[in-house]
Amino acid sequence: MRFRLLLFRRAAVQNPQRTFAQSTAARSGLRYRPQVPFLSVPTTTAARVRYLTTERKAQLKYEIKTGIKYVGYIWVAGICVVVAWVAIGQELLERRYPTPHEWRYMTRYHFRGGHTARYEPPPGRITDWLQVGWWAERTIQRLQDPSIDGKDVKDAPSDYPPGTKDVSAKSENWRRGYYEALMLYAKAAEHMEGWVVDKSRKILFPPGVMIGPSNPYPKPLPPGYKGAPKEEDCELRFESPDTVYLRILSTVGFTNRQRIEAGLAYASWLDYKGITGPASIILEDAVHLAASERHDLPSEPLDNKSWTLNDTAGPPSENLLNALTAYATFRARHGDVSSALSILVSILRARRSLPAPPSTTLASTLRSPAPSKTGPWSILSAIFTPPAYPPPPPDGTAPPVRDAGELCQEAALSLHIGEIMYASSNASSSSKEEGLAWTREAVDIAEEQLHKLPAGARDKDAARATCRECLATGLGNWATMVARLAREEEETAAARRRKDKDGAAAGRGWFGSLWGEGVAKAEDTSLPNRWTAEQKVIEERQRRVKDVLEDLKPLPRGWQSWLTA
């Protein structure tokens, strides 16, 4: 074997035509792989190179698997962040708009969505009542569905309006939430009255643009709409407010207070539509319902002829005060000024005779507060425990106490009385000044109570809103009344000056009239103007209460706030 190798090497040295022996690497003594044909990669052309080797293929598989894995991690993390963000947002909304805990999650989600769409529209936009009605409609459907949240909900007797339910078997929290959903749906139906859906195109159209026998003179389409709908292809998007309110008033299981509030809202809508007869009947029914709640009074709380409160019957109930105030305002708005004034004065007298709120005793003020748990477990429990559903409000059968909220109601009554006395058709100058005095008193009371209410107290939000509305309206009425009186005084003074000037010019010559006119002008400019001075007082008052009326909230300060501090 060794001999054959030696012969092979000698033959290679003697044969100069062997390519690997004549290569540069061989001559230079470098140890490289010999360039022999059977060791090269077989190719069809000399320019083609093999790129996808075994190592490259394994590297690509590893990179693809790693990319898919990291993309999956990113998607899972993103979904977790979105879910956490939605959960935190829903938890905050639950604290602003509580829902009964016995409802299912999606029912509570729809309920919160309707209230958010109504009270918290996107910045720069108004409330989208179509969206509010959609959320409320879905909530009511789920509450009436026996397979979801409508267990033990029964249909009312046949003599009730269609769609009326009997919810007396449900809990108080369930019934209260159901009532709020119905009222939200009724308010959305008011704003969306007459809107139709074109079933052929699934497009919503505003009222009055439908082409058909019931609308012979259709309105032009608003910008952005294409093709007016035909009556045979359309149906109402929401039910009529009449149907919804009658269903609420007829629902079995609601309290008298809920029925009275729904009746007042229904009457207000009818009055807005100009249907005054049914509105008056509904208000009278609400007043009679509130007056018949208590049977322990020594006499009837209401005089059926004059609709005034009897002083001998004791303090009236809260339901009666609210219903009678709405009825008196309705009568004043439709020209029955004398009757409305007598009713409002009797209500104001009754409110001023209400019992004072119970004062805190010395023992309760000296009692040390219960130690609050501030450990980590208690904090986690407070975060993950759902907030308790608010307790039911008073049923309105008892007389209210004369707290800050009731004092603001008294200010609102004084404001109504002053406005009616001033705006009556046969009001004399003395009646106008008396109405102005009532308005001043209302503004003083509202401002005083608004400053007394503690800031940040959530249980006082309703009273603060009433005082703020009363103060803003009172200042506006006060400014309008004084401006009109100042204008009337100026016109009277100008007429008197013209009369005096004409009389003086008739008895004087040219030089006398010239000197007399100059003296008259000096005397006129020196006369004090009472109403002009009061206008300046009102302007100063408006500047003083501007911050209280606007109720400005501080802007949210994030982690970048230290940069602008």
Q: Where is pLDDT greater, at 69 or 494? A: 69
Q: Where is pLDDT greater, at 43 or 259? A: 259
The type of residue at 511 is: F
Top mean-pLDDT range of 288-297, 374-383, 553-562: 288-297
Calculate the alpha carbon distances from 41 to 33, 35, 49 in Å.
14, 11, 9
Apex CA 100: angle with CA 246 and CA 387, to 5°?
A: 145
pLDDT recorded at residue 366: 40
**Res. 364 pLDDT band, cuts 50 70 90:** very low
pLDDT tens, position by position, 385-442: 778 899 999 999 999 999 888 898 999 999 999 999 888 767 677 888 899 999 999 9
The set of residues, in sequence order, having a beta carbon less than 8 Å from that of 289 and lying 6+ positions away, is 256, 259, 260, 263, 319, 323
Apex CA 414: angle with CA 411 and CA 419, to 5°?
A: 125
The candidate with the shortest Cα–Cα distance to 421, out of 408, 401, 436, is 436
pLDDT more than 70, % of the chain: 78
Residues 443-469: b if buried by 16+ CB within 10 A, e if exposed: bebbbebbeebeeeeeebeebbebbbe
Cross-strand pairs, 302: 309
φ, ψ for residue 234, nearest 5 deg: -115, 155
Mean pLDDT, range 55-83, rounded to an integer: 95
Mean pLDDT, range 9-15, rounded to an integer: 53
**Rounded to a whole number, what is the distance in angstroms from the first to the last CA of the chain?**
94
**Res. 323 pLDDT band, cuts 50 70 90:** very high
Per-chain mean pLDDT for the chain: 83
Q: Parallel, antiparallel, or unpaired for β 234-236 and 203-205?
A: unpaired
pLDDT recorded at residue 34: 61
Q: Where is pLDDT greater, at 503 or 5? A: 503
pLDDT recorded at residue 380: 64
Task: State the Cα–Cα distance between residues 45 and 36, nearest whole angstrom.
Answer: 17
pLDDT recorded at residue 559: 43
The candidate with the shortest Cα–Cα distance to 108, out of 130, 128, 88, 93, is 93
Mean pLDDT, range 140-153, rounded to an integer: 96
Count of Cβ atoms closer than 10 Å to residue 540 Cβ: 9
Q: Where is pLDDT greater, at 296 or 59? A: 59
Whether the predicted pLDDT of 100 surpasses 90: yes
DSSP string, 487-525: HHHHHHHHHHHHHHHHHHHHSS-HHHHHHHHHHHHHHHH
pLDDT recorded at residue 511: 45
pLDDT recorded at residue 52: 77
Burial class from Cβ neighbours inside 10 Å (0-12, 13-18, 19+) for residue 523 reads: exposed
Task: State the Cα–Cα distance between residues 260 and 238, nearest whole angstrom.
Answer: 24
Q: Provide the CA 13 distance to its chain's centre, in angstroms.
A: 103
Structural domain boundaries in the chain? 58-96, 262-355+395-402, 410-552
Q: Where is pLDDT greater, at 525 or 39? A: 39
**Res. 522 pLDDT band, cuts 50 70 90:** very low
Whether the predicted pLDDT of 81 surpasses 90: yes
Mean pLDDT, range 168-182, rounded to an integer: 97
pLDDT recorded at residue 36: 61
Apex CA 542: angle with CA 538 and CA 545, to 5°?
A: 135
pLDDT recorded at residue 403: 87
User: The dihedral of CA 40, 41, 42, 44: what is its sign?
Assistant: negative
pLDDT tens, position by position, 116-146: 999 999 988 999 999 999 999 999 999 999 9
DSSP state, 47? S
DSSP state, 204? E
Mean pLDDT, range 12-28, rounded to an integer: 50
Whole-structure pTM value = 0.80
Task: State the Cα–Cα distance between residues 211 and 225, nearest whole angstrom.
Answer: 14
Structure tokens at 468: 């703020």
Calculate the alpha carbon distances from 469 to 243, 406, 408, 535 in Å.
31, 14, 10, 21
User: The dihedral of CA 359, 362, 363, 368: what is its sign?
Assistant: positive
Whether the predicted pLDDT of 165 surpasses 70: yes
Mean pLDDT, range 184-198, rounded to an integer: 96
DSSP string, 216-278: SSPPPPPTT--SPPBGGGEEESS--HHHHHHHHHH-BT--HHHHHHHHHHHHHHHHHTT-HHH
Rg, C-alpha atoms of the chain: 42
The type of residue at 552 is: L
The candidate with the shortest Cα–Cα distance to 178, out of 236, 102, 246, 243, is 102
Task: State the Cα–Cα distance between residues 256 and 326, nearest whole angstrom.
Answer: 16
pLDDT recorded at residue 565: 41
Under DSSP, is residue 302 helix (H, G, I), strand (E, B) or coil?
strand
